Amino acid sequence: MTVNTEVIILAQSHPWFQETGTVQMVDNSRVFVARHRWSNQGDWFSPDELATVEDGRDTAPLRHACAGGCHDQPVTAGECCSCLCHGKRANARVHRSTAYVKAISERGSARKPDPITDQFRFIVRMAVACHVRAVPYDLTWDRRDSATRATITARGKIPTPKPLPKPPKLKLVADWKPAIWDAAYRLEAYYDSNRKRKCPGFVIEHSCGLSLVHPSESGELGVTEYGENEDIRQRWFVTHTASGRGFGLTLNFKRATDALLLAASFAVDWTADADALKGNSEFRRAGYSVQAAFSKGYEKDAAKRRLAELECAA
């Protein structure tokens, strides 16, 4: 068969079944790349899944040479070669996909690089699907300049890739259900990095060593230092009780409670001194996890990247 030969798709499981297409390439392994006539989309087919077109009608399936070279005969869909010399089924399929991954320096801004492409994610999902269903596949990597090319080739009953499994969600310590009215006023409630000193506010302590803090100069909930009303459900911090230092988050009361419970779920002794915790990798993982879950914009993306770096270094 030559390039641009008009063919008809015989594979009943394929969405192009009995639609015409054009062969674009034939390789030495007798695998054909046929492109749909109208959409120009391509896919891989074995010889028995295609039939040539002559005078507006389809002919017999393409001839399939047996591995032993003893003869050349047509093979119909779903049947094996009569000589049984190679045992391949006629409905065997071949799928091949390629994706490119650019270097980080070429993926947009350094502060927020472009994400991995959907095509590359498809390569990973297809490899996972083939592994789960025991479908033979080959995944190759090729470096070209600053980009890396990944190519997967699968043969047999090609599976449908499923979304990649998501990491399990951390379970919150849900026994603690504080109320805003539980807050107690303290003159040294939290540490303000801008003023470089501790400032007053309302505090709700958790036994793990973390606290919820609502800053207040007036000493009265719902009243600002200028005597104006304020929403007591807003502007809550999550802080380390001993030092007063926080996670860099300003949340409403419910989200602040969830953020504290998430931090408390990590294997960190929050009652320890803040300087002693700095060298603890689990302490950094807890901080980045809270920021990735509850912050926004650049801070959220930066926390996710740092969290990924910790996972890779572990």
The pTM of the full predicted model, rounded to 2 decimals, is 0.47
Cβ atoms of residues 268 and 210 within 8 Å: no
Q: List the beta bridge partners of residue 127.
A: none
CB count within 10 Å of CB 180 equals 15
Start-to-end Cα distance in the chain: 54
E strand intervals along 86-169: 93-101, 137-144, 147-156
Q: List the beta bridge partners of residue 150.
A: 99, 141
∠89-95-98 over CA atoms, to 5°? 160
Q: Read off the pLDDT of residues 248-275 as tens digits, 9 standing for 90 and up.
A: 899 999 999 999 999 998 889 998 888 8
Q: Which amino acid is at 308?
A: A
**How confident is the model at residue 96, as a pLDDT?**
82
Which tokens sit at 194?
Answer: 């801008």
The domain locations on the chain are 6-91, 95-156, 180-313
213: nearest Cα among 195, 197, 237, 194:
237
Question: Which residues contact residue 51 at a Cβ distance below 8 angstroms, ignoring those fewer than 6 apart?
Answer: 7, 8, 10, 58, 59, 60, 61, 62
3-state secondary structure of 123: helix
Cβ atoms of residues 90 and 79 within 8 Å: yes
Place of tokens 């990944």: 150
Q: Read off the pLDDT of residues 50-93 as tens digits, 9 standing for 90 and up.
A: 776 654 454 545 444 333 333 334 433 333 344 443 333 334 47
Separation of alpha carbons 226 and 220, rounded Å: 11
In tens digits, the chain (314 residues) has pLDDT values of 555 666 766 665 566 666 666 665 555 555 666 766 655 566 666 666 677 665 445 454 544 433 333 333 443 333 334 444 333 333 447 888 888 887 777 776 666 667 777 788 888 888 888 999 899 999 988 887 778 888 898 888 888 887 766 766 655 555 678 899 989 999 999 999 888 899 999 999 998 899 999 999 888 888 888 888 888 899 999 999 999 999 989 999 999 999 999 999 888 999 888 888 888 888 989 999 999 999 888 888 888 888 888 877 75
Handedness of CA 49, 52, 55, 56 (dihedral sign): positive
